[in-house]
Structure 1
Amino acid sequence: MRDSRRDATTPPVFALAALSYLLNCALGAAVALKAIDTSRFRWLHHALFIVTSASTAVALSSALWGRRRRTSRRAALGLAPAIVPLAVIPFAGTRGRRHPLVALSAAPFFAAGLALAAEPDRRK
């Protein structure tokens, strides 16, 4: 009989990384469209970026410690290319098109990591 607690250890880490990335993009888009004024709490976007980067690092490290080892490794491989845009974004500038384009280039990798983490382990 399979232990459901054991099966549920890896995917929440990938969900946290994807959720923090999504929230960060949503906040950035809202500010760019002038729907939200963050002049009083500009630190929020930076804090969300730090959470996104840290949760991505934890999700990637789950390839080493995740209990669903095969699923963790596949999901980490799907998410791994997101490291590049996350590393470049602080240097992309905040004005103009470059910042949002670099930020959005990570989206397919967060989606892939989340989808692969949610797949059931096929090994018995």
Structure 2
Amino acid sequence: MGRTVGAVGSDPWIGLASACWAANAALGASVGAGLVHTGRFRWIHHALYVTTTTTTVLATVLAVGSSSASRRAAARALAPALLPLAALPHIGTPAQGHPRRHALAALSAAPFYATALFRARARRVR
């Protein structure tokens, strides 16, 4: 049989939350660099933000309650990503004249997603 998404100690919710964040960051960076023009479809970036935040909360809550030490460690690593996500609507957007501040806040979540992915996949040696 093949491996499932949750095999080898990984957490599919942490992977999904990380993928949502990466997709949203890529879209935002592409728009900011002028490579993509969303025009009337700016709502896609907002929908990805809501999806990213929701999956990050869900991944954190599910991993905290896990019996797996690696999943609990991943939850501890992922939880701080919620701070910049919560701050984003309040710090200004590129349309409001704050592109650098918005990008830096969004990118500040990257280390938390990366660490959570690493910890979720780590095998614990006893």
Q: Deviations over 1:43-69 (max 9, x none)?
A: 100111111111101110123443x52
* Equivalent in the alignment of 2:57: 57
CA distance in structure 2 between the partners assigned to 1:47 and 1:65 by the alignment: 27
Measure the CA separation in 2 of the matches of 1:58 and 1:40: 30
Task: Provide structure 2 residue ranges, at least 5 long, that are not aligned to the other structure.
Answer: none
After TM superposition, the structure 1 = structure 2 runs for residues 27-106 of structure 1, keeping only pairs within 5 Å, are 27-66=27-66, 68-95=67-94, 96=98, 97-106=100-109
Aligned residues between the structures:
118
Residue 11 of structure 1 deviates from its aligned partner by: 1.4
Scaled by the length of structure 1, what TM-score is found?
Answer: 0.86
Report Cα offsets for 1:100-122 as digits up to 9, x if no partner.
Answer: 01000000001001110011243
- Structure 1 stretches of 4+ with a deviation exceeding 6 A read none
Pairwise CA RMSD = 1.9
Scaled by the length of structure 2, the TM-score of the pair is 0.85
Give the match for residue 115 of structure 1: 118
- The 8 Å contact of residues 10 and 62 in structure 1, kept in 2 or not, is answered as no
